[in-house]
Structure 1
Amino acid sequence: MKVQRSALRLLLGFLVVSLIPSSMARFVVEKNSLRVISPDSIKGTHDSAIGNFGIPQYGGSMAGIVVYPRENKKGCRGFDEFGISFKTKPGGLPPFVLVDRGDCFFALKVWNAQKAGASAVLVADDIEEALITMDSPEADGSSAKYIENITIPSALIEKSFGEKLKKAYSAGDMVNVNLDWREAVPHPDDRVEYELWTNSNDECGVKCDMLMEFVKDFKGAAQILEKGGYTQFTPHYITWYCPQAFTSSKQCKSQCINHGRYCAPDPEQDFSTGYEGRDVVVENLRQLCVFRVANENKKPWTWWDYVTDFQIRCPMKEKKYNRECADGVIKSLGLDMKKIEKCMGDPNADSDNPVLKEEQDAQVGKGSRGDVTILPTLVVNNRQYRGKLAKVAVLRAICSGFEETTEPAVCLSGDVETNECLENNGGCWQDKAANLTACKDTFRGRVCECPLLDGVQFKGDGYTTCEASGPGRCKINNGGCWHESREGHAFSACSDNGEIKCQCPPGFKGDGVKSCKDIDECKEKKACQCPECSCKNTWGSYDCTCSGDLLYIRDHDTCISKNARETKSAWAAVWVILIGLAMAAGGAYLVYKYRLRSYMDSEIRAIMAQYMPLDSQGEVPNHVNDEHA
């Protein structure tokens, strides 16, 4: 196996090197202008090389002040470890962090500075040489996480210029600079020509996933521009060829068509299993012919439909990457199958394929464009695009290819100024299960802030963690505990008594997180133990009935006679009536005694008043009858 893989690496090396003679290779560094506004001692304009990651502000410019960190000068570690932050107060100039080259990837330096609040990054070269393009590393598991989230622009500057910036900053001067991308893409006419060097293979890792996602996201904008006549798009596919000495080898036969003339690496890098490189070459050729046939029909934008549909319906990962599936996509789009097959030709012929021969010739740099050697590569108005392959960034670069005031409406609409939270959730925390996100879109960009939902406040940094706090946490995704609904009943294992606990509710048993299983109370002899009882288990509970004319009392787990209960109820009613009558009689008697006593008191006072008039009382009426006067 080791020998086989070594042979594979050796062959792939030949394929890449043999594409273009080294004496002919042309590698062009795409540049933007960096103008120093102050101090006067270093005022002037300098070239800088656009980084091949992040989002360059094509068609625009950005002003800021240079900041050179006192520690972590190469930016290879997080600046928070040193207590350094570049965040400015509202109204302040954006900070352009200057770091030194060396010791770690360019992209890592930019990512660390971005996390600390930088608006842009300038990397000072550590040797005197012509400017080079800062590229991203091969995206493995660790680097892919931060490369995808870099959103600020960056540029490499020459060593001597970097030394001048450092000297001025150390002297206490405010170093005010302006990065300018307005001429990074030329605009020779009223139409933008752009091309994308792509691949149909979806099993080459992070870069393939990124490319497939971009094609899907950019499809709508691309078709609007193409249908309006604003752009002319051309897809391209990189191919290699096998050196003559290896054309009869197993490796070349499995990776090439047309007797070694057009090759692609084995998708799994294993000749014994899965798809072969020749499968990729054939599908690349088919996609080129789909574009040619669609272009003949005056509908070149159909290529975007075919490619996105093919990704969805015929993925290599699901073993559907084949001619039968491709033909189904072609048929659904109404394309002429026979014309496409004629365009593709015979992959087993010992002769050149006109379509693929043109592709190999097009890889060689012409004019201001360098050679195409990596995937993916985007070229706008014959300039290689630098930066993140994302819809907003690419659309901005294409729109900068129009002269000012001549841009189509799509360049001035929400297709450029989009909601940053829609792309990779803005790099913020999210809980897909509960459909929650910490990303909030604002006029000046997104912020990562833990959400408030249904009265429950989430707390955390907003980037990696947000946890529910306060009462009501069980309402949010059931607190991460088990829950289920069945037969019109819903149960949850979440309990919140100051701290969320996942504990199965009564009638269930389990861990409370992943599962809670119904307890069969009848089998486990936990209910209906009386002799007359009959038990039936239900989900989360049980039903108990009594035989004959008996009634089940659940609290006492016993059966009693219904008649006895009715007799007891009748006597209870009689006693209630008797007690009520007795209370009424007692009340009437008390009222009677009170009124009688009041009358007698009045009579006695009247008689006594005749003989002993009271000082406080005037003449008292005579209550004696006239016949006794």
Structure 2
Amino acid sequence: MRLRPTPVLLLFCSLLLSVSGRFVVEKNSLTVLAPSSLVGRHDSAIGNFGAPDYGGSMVLDVKVPAKDDVHGCKPFPADYFKRTSHKANPTVALLDRGECYFALKVWNAQNAGAACVLVADDRTEPLITMDSPEEDEEAATYIDDISIPSALIEKSFGDKLKEELAKKTTVTVKLDWSESLPHPDENVEYELWTSSNDECGPKCDTQINFIKKFKGAAQLLEKGGYTTFTPHYITWYCSDSSMETEQCRTQCINHGRYCVPDPDHDFAKGYQGKDVVMENLRQLCVFKVGNASGKPWVWWDYVSDFHIRCPMRENKYNQDCAEKVIESLGLPVKEVRNCMGDPDVDEENKHLKAEQVAQVGQGERGDVTILPTLIINDRQYRGKLDKSTVLGAICSGFREGTDPPVCLDEDMQTNECLVNNGGCWKNDEANVTACKDTFRGRICECPVVQGVQFQGDGYTYCEAIGPARCSINNGGCWKETRHGQTFSACHPSHMKGCDCPPGFRGDGKLHCEDINECAEKSACQCAECNCKDKWGGYDCACKGNLLYIKEQDTCIGKGIGSSFWNMLFIVLVIIAVMSLAGYVIYRHRLRAYMDTEIRAIMAQYMPLDEENDDDDIRQPLRADI
């Protein structure tokens, strides 16, 4: 992002850029190899995007498009600039300046098969650096995907090339970046000018992604003693006439000496410029404290983790979140605070003052006026912030024969989890860690272990969830054994969380404390009760010949209970006997009744013995003759 006042700041004219803006154009060498009439060396200005081949060179055949397409502002036909055969040289597209932004010209040529782009100036002037302005929102969708180099050439040289090409002459050139960066010795010094602001659009996203991806390579180079890295942050200052304005008070610290424009261009809400200044200063002090302890590379860990854990869009961009990141990396928070100093005092901050001085160009290096800016061996790097491209540029800064192994190995990889567990969560008892090493650097991600899923932020905590969680380190819950008894706060029936078992209280994770039910009068409180506390519970005894009933928390007499049961037994026996007797009587009477009824019915059809006897009595007496 270009360092220029926001519209609001321009309106109030309250902030001034702290440097004069002396800009140095970085150049590479362009040599015409054919035809003989043009043979010679010329300068070209390296584009501020794409992938310059630092330390290398390219031999190319020049091709100019048809008259209607000389500016390259419209897409070319597919393979328009592709080499004609495998024996031919790759093609460099020669386009005219004007009509559209530089980046769009290069993007269209790349899509049509060009290996490089030369843009001929349309006016007679010193060379400038081609860049993509902030207002070109469309470029944000493709500029990071531009993977070819580009350069601007002077109008007079461009005209000569086009004259020869109009004659159907083959024009061959050599682009050489081998001397674009100084390479005096076996140590490369480089610095990155950046900002902690993460809500400035594509430019912020580019620098954040670069820091994350380049971190592993940067730390490997630094730990091996091959490079010396220094981060920097640009600051502005308020003019004397505007020192007491509301704008200066909200966007600056140390009474207007160090300022940054409001991140969201709104003084009334959101984060303010002074919030960004303070975080920039904190990041600078993280580097200085780490450097003093022999670990300057910790800056890469802090900045990448800060952007992940403390983004503005989630309202976590603050001191509390920042210091948690510092603690997770094993840095002393107090030393970082002392380094930052008091932002409210009316005096200079030595670290921010040094930054203002450093951003002014010295020697062949120009002023730093664009963020992000990478400077290698005191020469400003041109090209996109891409891991392999930047690494190639740094490697070109070593004296020949002193290249470290990493410059010869494209598959460089570091295991960041081996040092301080990468700043991620870890449970030593269960040997479970959230640190996962990848080619692009470590990530802090809660793992799956033995079928048990852990969930959390990966930095400060991971928690086991699911039915099997108690099998690994007891689910991270409290557990203790005494006198052969074991109590646990992990319940397999619960998906997550730790709850102290009955008889205990606490957080369930670090501790569960035995409850003294007797002292707290929460149990065994009847008049006849005698309470005795024990670990995880209590014993309750009753005075005299009484029996304790736990469910009712009461005592009852043992004798009364026995008589009651005896009486109940006797009553039941009597009831059973009476029931049996009644049943016998009932059966006897029923049978007698049935016999009588049967006899009455049968008497209607046949005389019974008794009836015959009666008839005989009723007949008159007669004498036998």
TM range (shorter): 0.5 to 0.7
State whether structure 2 residue 72 is matched by structure 1 residue 75: yes
RMSD of aligned residue pairs (Cα, Å): 1.8
Work out which of the residue numbers 171, 180, 193 in structure 2 matches 1:184: 180
CA contact (8 A) 1:53 1:135 kept: yes
CA contact (8 A) 2:14 2:248 kept: no
The letter for the 1-side match of 2:234 is: I
CA shift in 2, pair 1:387/1:253, >3 Å? same
Work out which of the residue numbers 36, 39, 48 in structure 1 matches 2:35: 39
CA distance in structure 2 between the partners assigned to 1:5 and 1:399 by the alignment? 37
What is the aligned partner in structure 1 of residue 372 from structure 2? 376
With a CA cutoff of 8 Å and minimum separation of 6, indicate the structure with the bigger relative contact order.
2
CA shift in 2, pair 1:416/1:405, >3 Å? farther
The alignment-based identity, stated in percent, is 62
The letter for the 1-side match of 2:15 is: L
Deviation at 1:84, TM superposition (A): 4.1
State whether structure 2 residue 32 is matched by structure 1 residue 9: no
Work out which of the residue numbers 88, 111, 116 in structure 1 matches 2:107: 111
What is the aligned partner in structure 1 of residue 87 from structure 2? 91
The 5 Å alignment of 1:511-530 reads none
CA distance in structure 1 between the partners assigned to 2:137 and 2:101 by the alignment? 15
Q: Compare 336-345 and 370-379 and name the one that shifted more.
A: 336-345
State whether structure 2 residue 305 is matched by structure 1 residue 306: no
Deviation at 1:89, TM superposition (A): 3.0
CA distance in structure 2 between the partners assigned to 1:88 and 1:237 by the alignment? 48
The letter for the 1-side match of 2:219 is: Q
What is the aligned partner in structure 1 of residue 22 from structure 2? 26
The 5 Å alignment of 1:393-542 reads 393-415=389-411
Larger Rg over CA atoms: 2
CA distance in structure 1 between the partners assigned to 2:247 and 2:56 by the alignment? 48
CA distance in structure 1 between the partners assigned to 2:367 and 2:15 by the alignment? 15
Deviation string 1:301-320 (CA, Å, 9 cap, x unpaired) is 01111111111111111111
Deviation string 1:470-524 (CA, Å, 9 cap, x unpaired) is xxxxxxxxxxxxxxxxxxxxxxxxxxxxxxxxxxxxxxxxxxxxxxxxxxxxxxx
CA shift in 2, pair 1:5/1:53, >3 Å? closer
CA contact (8 A) 2:81 2:93 kept: no
The letter for the 1-side match of 2:18 is: L
SS at match of 2:15: helix
Work out which of the residue numbers 222, 231, 236 in structure 2 matches 1:235: 231
The letter for the 1-side match of 2:143 is: I
Deviation string 1:161-184 (CA, Å, 9 cap, x unpaired) is 111111111112210100000000
What is the aligned partner in structure 1 of residue 56 from structure 2? 60
State whether structure 2 residue 331 is matched by structure 1 residue 330: no
CA distance in structure 1 between the partners assigned to 2:6 and 2:44 by the alignment? 40
Q: Provide the aligned length of Structure 1 versus Structure 2.
A: 408
CA contact (8 A) 2:235 2:277 kept: yes
CA distance in structure 2 between the partners assigned to 1:52 and 1:364 by the alignment? 20
CA shift in 2, pair 1:384/1:60, >3 Å? same
The letter for the 2-side match of 1:350 is: D
What is the aligned partner in structure 2 of residue 149 from structure 1? 145
Deviation string 1:115-135 (CA, Å, 9 cap, x unpaired) is 111000000011111111011
State whether structure 2 residue 352 is matched by structure 1 residue 353: no
CA contact (8 A) 1:5 1:270 kept: no
Deviation string 1:445-469 (CA, Å, 9 cap, x unpaired) is xxxxxxxxxxxxxxxxxxxxxxxxx
Deviation at 1:288, TM superposition (A): 0.4
CA contact (8 A) 2:80 2:113 kept: no
State whether structure 2 residue 245 is matched by structure 1 residue 260: no
The 5 Å alignment of 1:132-143 reads 132-138=128-134, 140-143=136-139
Deviation at 1:27, TM superposition (A): 1.1
The letter for the 1-side match of 2:126 is: A
SS at match of 2:77: helix
CA distance in structure 1 between the partners assigned to 2:336 and 2:71 by the alignment? 53
CA distance in structure 2 between the partners assigned to 1:99 and 1:235 by the alignment? 37
CA shift in 2, pair 1:92/1:6, >3 Å? closer
SS at match of 1:79: coil
CA distance in structure 2 between the partners assigned to 1:415 and 1:184 by the alignment? 25
What is the aligned partner in structure 2 of residue 286 from structure 1? 282
CA contact (8 A) 2:83 2:89 kept: no
What is the aligned partner in structure 2 of residue 207 from structure 1? 203
The letter for the 1-side match of 2:361 is: G
SS at match of 1:48: strand
CA distance in structure 2 between the partners assigned to 1:300 and 1:108 by the alignment? 39
CA distance in structure 1 between the partners assigned to 2:136 and 2:152 by the alignment? 24
Q: Could you tell me the TM-score, scaled by structure 2's length?
A: 0.64
Q: Could you tell me the TM-score, scaled by structure 1's length?
A: 0.63
CA shift in 2, pair 1:88/1:146, >3 Å? farther
The letter for the 1-side match of 2:73 is: C
Consecutive unaligned residues in structure 2, runs of 5 or more: 414-625
Consecutive unaligned residues in structure 1, runs of 5 or more: 418-629
Deviation at 1:10, TM superposition (A): 2.9
The letter for the 2-side match of 1:188 is: P
State whether structure 2 residue 270 is matched by structure 1 residue 271: no
SS at match of 1:108: helix
SS at match of 1:91: coil
Deviation at 1:394, TM superposition (A): 0.6
Deviation at 1:245, TM superposition (A): 1.2
Deviation at 1:80, TM superposition (A): 2.2
Work out which of the residue numbers 117, 121, 124 in structure 1 matches 2:120: 124
